[in-house]
Amino acid sequence: QVQLVESGGGSVQAGGSLRLSCAASGRTLSSLAMAWFRQAPGKEREFVAAISWGGGRTYYADSVKGRFTISRDNAKNTVYLQMNSLYSEDTAVYYCAADPDRSGGRYAGVYDYWGQGTQVTVSS
């Protein structure tokens, strides 16, 4: 069993930055492919970014490419999402997800474990 706890959300003005963290427990982070998804009010959950278990490969949604950076520190069992140049359209609840089969990628269905989410609100 893997437990994921997100933190770092909050309110920020457009153009600002936030860094989200996802602390994993119950399993060594290096055994997991990780990702961030988000869900805005009235919309379906969507892929944001993913990182392979070793950190060598990263994937981004087109809407965040060049603005967001996913990274991981396996020694700290933590995954990060650095978000820069935030738009009001980035307002959503952000979820961390883990795939123990190390497949990872953009498809939510491969991720077995999810955090509770952290709210990000960007005001224009």
pLDDT of residue 103: 82
101 to 90, 108, 119: CA distances (angstroms): 29, 13, 28
Write the pLDDT tens digit of every residue in 92-120.
999 999 998 888 889 999 999 999 999 99
pLDDT in tens, 27-63: 888 889 999 999 999 999 999 999 998 888 999 999 9
The model's confidence at residue 71, banded by pLDDT at 50, 70 and 90, is: very high
- The pLDDT value given to residue 99: 95
CA separation, residue 73 to residues 32, 94, 115 (Å): 12, 19, 18
- List, for residues 13-24, the tens digit of each pLDDT value: 999 999 999 999
Quote the mean pLDDT of the chain: 95
- Eight-state DSSP code of residue 2: -
CA distances from 20 to 1, 52, 70, 103 (A): 22, 18, 9, 22
Cα separation, 49 vs 84, in Å, equals 14
CB-based contact 33:47 (threshold 8 Å): no
- The strand pairing partners of 118, in sequence order, are 94
